[in-house]
Amino acid sequence: MIEVLAKLGRGPVFLAGEMLECVITFTNPLSASSTSASSEMLAWASAQIHCQFHASENRVALPPSDGSKHDVQAENETVFVPNRGERGQCILSTPPKILFCDLRLDPGESKSYSYCETLPIDGPPSFRGQSVKYVYKLTIGCQRVNSPIKLLRVPFRVLVLHGLKDYQFPQDEAVAPSNPFLEEEEGLKKDSRLADLATELLMVATSRRSLHLYNISNTRGKVGTFCIFKTVYKIGEDVIGTFNFSEGDIPCLQFSVSLQTEESIQEEFQRRRGQPVSFSTHARHQEACLHTAQSSFSLPIPLSSTPGFTTNIVSLKWRLHFEFVTSGESTDTCLVRGSQSEAVTWTGVEQIEVDTFSWDLPIKVLPTNPILASYVSQFSSTNSITI
């Protein structure tokens, strides 16, 4: 028996273009109850990253794919196919890397191997929507002699920041002599620069503040104004806005604000022409506001949510969805004088005609620091199997 343990040292969330590093440890455990411990042998082990795409058949019409060659290989248990048994299509994969050949482990012995690979910068982000899913996994395959291949899958999350792909790093080291022993160090240096650049781009994009003022009105007149100071956010931030109903001609009885994503399939891949888009609500604020001059709301963008993106099949956009309930008639309160004293009692009207209307405000949601997103990730940094 051999235990295989894979650990992502920095956490299970990465930016596209970053380097993923995983330490894979093979152990021949020494059991106290075992009386005949023996050495164990593994013929080989390899690792590879792949992105699996799955689409809802009711919503997405995909062209037929020629996967006959792949299917023949997948049925052969002696061939390393990282996505064997997975649903959907493998739309992206890195070249497989061999970790070792002919490994012998004595009882109680362990050996660790480091796997490093740069994540493709032009791939889609991790996403689990109502119509499509993009799932990233690191698959480690190992095999005993004359035995089927065993697979250990390590799921992780990928965030995509647009703009990194087109950025050219300065070639500061172009005049320095080439040293093959520093290749790994140079890769880590570039990876660090990529993370610093991403942090800087996100800071610049989300720190800009300017007053955005919108008049809220319906067919009968002005209801109030809405104020927001920015429309570009990172996941994990709060969307904050304020209302001013004091200048309105039409009384507002109630309002609600929902933070939503809009998942739409590109026209050529729609199962039915003109099919509706899918909406998901991530946070909601509702408030009764009759006789309220000003009000505000704060909606958190979950760290686990997916920033906006577009692929050839699907696009995801963010918006604030507003719903207002306004009075269709006068809302003057009734004064009822007490019979025993000069005190008066304020009572509201029992019935009132209302009008409702809605409004959508598009916003832009970007990724955040992947280390921060790792704290709330559903994935574990450590995965293991026994073979």
Same fold for the pair 3-160+371-386 and 212-330+352-366: yes
User: 212-330+352-366: which CATH number, 1.20.950.20, 2.60.40.640, 2.60.40.3880, 2.40.50.140?
Assistant: 2.60.40.640
List pLDDT tens digits, range 114-138: 999 999 998 999 999 999 999 999 9
How many CA atoms lie less than 13 Å away from 202 in the CB half-sphere? 22
SS3 letters across the chain: CCEEEEEECCCCEEECCCEEEEEEEEECCCCCCCCCCCCEEEEEEEEEEEEEEEECCCCECCCCCCCHHHHHHHHCCCCCCCCCCCCCEEEEECCCEEEEEEEEECCCCEEEEEEEEECCCCCCCCEECCCEEEEEEEEEEEECCCCCEEEEEEEEEEECCCCCCCCCCCCCCCCCCCCHHHHHHHHHHHHHHHHHHHHHHHHHHHHCCCCEEEEEEECCEEEEEEEECCCEEECCCEEEEEEECCCCCCCEEEEEEEEEEEEEECHHHECCCCCCCEEEEEEEEEEECCCCCEEEEEEECCCCCCCCEECCCEEEEEEEEEEEEEECCCCCCEEEECCCCCCEEEECCCCCCEEEEEEEEEEEEECCCHHHHHCCCCCCCEEEEEC
pLDDT of residue 102: 93
Q: What is the mean pLDDT of the chain?
A: 86
Which of 19-28, 73-82, 108-117, 176-185 shows the lowest per-residue confidence on average (mean pLDDT)? Answer: 176-185
33 compared with 43, residue with greater pLDDT = 43
* Percent residues over pLDDT 90 in the chain: 63
What per-residue string of b and e applies to 155-187 under the rule 16 or more CB within 10 Å gives b? bbbbbbbeebeeeeeeeeeeeeeeeeeeeeeee
Instruction: Return the closest-CA partner of residue 86 out of 146, 139, 148.
Output: 139
User: Is the pLDDT assigned to residue 59 strictly greater than 70?
Assistant: yes
Q: What single-letter amino acid sits at 311?
A: T
Give the span between the Cα atoms of 263 and 308, in whole angstroms. Answer: 10
Average pLDDT over residues 78-96: 86
How many residues are present in the chain?
387
Q: How confident is the model at residue 348 (pLDDT cuts 50, 70, 90)?
A: low
SS3 letters across 217-243: EECCEEEEEEEECCCEEECCCEEEEEE
Instruction: Return the closest-CA partner of residue 18 out of 105, 111, 136.
Output: 136
Give the span between the Cα atoms of 249 and 220, in whole angstroms. Answer: 9
Give the span between the Cα atoms of 303 and 372, in whole angstroms. Answer: 8
Give the span between the Cα atoms of 306 and 102, in whole angstroms. Answer: 42
Q: Domain 3-160+371-386 belongs to what architecture?
A: Sandwich (2.60)
Give the span between the Cα atoms of 140 and 385, in whole angstroms. Answer: 10
List pLDDT tens digits, range 253-281: 999 999 999 999 999 999 988 889 999 99
248 compared with 332, residue with greater pLDDT = 248
Residue-range domain boundaries for the chain? 3-160+371-386, 212-330+352-366
SS3 letters across 13-56: EEECCCEEEEEEEEECCCCCCCCCCCCEEEEEEEEEEEEEEEEC
- Give me the residues paired with residue 270 across strands: 60
Q: Which residue has the tokens 């507003």?
A: 322
Joined together, the tokens standing for residue 53 give 């795409």
Average pLDDT over residues 81-110: 90
